[in-house]
Chains A and B, each alone.
Chain A
Amino acid sequence: MAGAFGQAMGETVVESKAGLGSERRASKVAEAIRAGEAFRAQVHPELADEPEILRADTFSLWYGEARALYDVTMKLPRGKVTALIGPSGCGKSTLLRAVNRMNDLVDGVRVEGEIRLEGESIYDPHVDVIELRKRLGMVFQKPNPFPMSIFENVVYPLRIDGERRKGVLAQACERALRQAALWDEVKDRLRESALGLSGGQQQRLCIARAIVADPEVLLLDEPCSALDPVATMRIEELISEIAERYTVLIVTHNMQQAARVSHFTAFMYLGRLVEYGPSEAVFSRPVLPETEQYVTGRFG
């Protein structure tokens, strides 16, 4: 039942082997993985004290016969920004999309293990996936405003819930746009098409749309990769600001960005969680040499 959704999403899931050849200096992790040895992620002890909101338990995912995630076990600290880093094809976007079950739209996806939001398994048959997605806001790599006015774009999640009161909608719109630091730029043209905004503005509009319904977790899938440096900086500032109110899970290719905006960083490699700890620790004194090589840009 994937229809048109499946076709494009299939592209993002091809497991890339590009990273493998470049790390000649033989990471132990890679060798262990190739040898099929059991392998445990290095999770820093600081995480143990954090209250969790979301948790993956030995979570694995297959696209048809291709396995994309291998027994990922990690928890997401409540009210913090957590970054997922790793080379292309390591499964970070897949993990992110597994959280709000966007992968359901792809044909032939199979999972094992659990992901729990506030203790409830999200892959349980009793779960209403639409309710679930309403609890999770998501921002995509490429800005994807709808072909409607700025106002309608922002209040879209409320509209589909049947909210019609103009006052409520207007209030929510203003609040979300202020939080997304876009209000001053668009307040005079809320009725104009959102497609007339610049790329950076469009992405902030998408952030406003993602937070307008007060989600519990905000999922950001490389939100700045299609933007210029100035727009990127604004979005990063914005992430730091909204981190006070929401739990954020962000996928990024940009090491500096991960270091700047996140409290915790998880390094993924070949579909596995490799190292996970406070960002400052992961970037300055990682436990595993592979992590160090990656964060210093020596492979990946």
Chain B
Amino acid sequence: MLRLQALQSVYPKLEHRVVITIMGAVAAELQSIGHRPNFFYLQHAMGLASSMGLGVALTRPELSVVVFDGDGSILMNLGGLTTLARYRPKNLVHVVFDNESLLSVGGFPTATSTGSDIAGMAAAAGIPRTTTVRTLEEFTTAFDDALAADELTTIVAKVDATGPAGFVTDLALLENRFEFQRWLRTAGASRTSHPAR
């Protein structure tokens, strides 16, 4: 499965949700499909995208939050899985694109290439719903199920270790941050006409 295809397949469902991504290919590919003001790309601070998602999910339970994480990032914050599990916000879907490599810095293999199982670690941390998917069809089904489940879910999507040619986009980091904050400020008002789920 290509990560770009996976993102494209769920893109229409992201319109009224809070979306937080990690840096690198995920951010660049989502922007290539089409940036929206409700998308925030954490272009550094590896490991903290899931913590940011938790911060939004706990303080804004009326919003639906989707985090697009990666194997390299979550491996830097495995303890964060236990924090997610501890508070298990029902309004958070945690997707981990696992390409078994640190693609943007030379493609060196991560520990998932030698058997470390992120979904297994998430389940053992106490995250109530976890799954590993390998095909586009499995991914879209798992994503829909997670949105409908009303329970914290970690989906590990095994994807090819390929990505865009470059990672720098023309969306400035601070432009993204202030636009995202502004969207969150008014997000509650638009919720009635566009339910989160």
Partners in one complex: no
Q: Which A residues are within 8 Å of any B CB, using their own CB? A: none
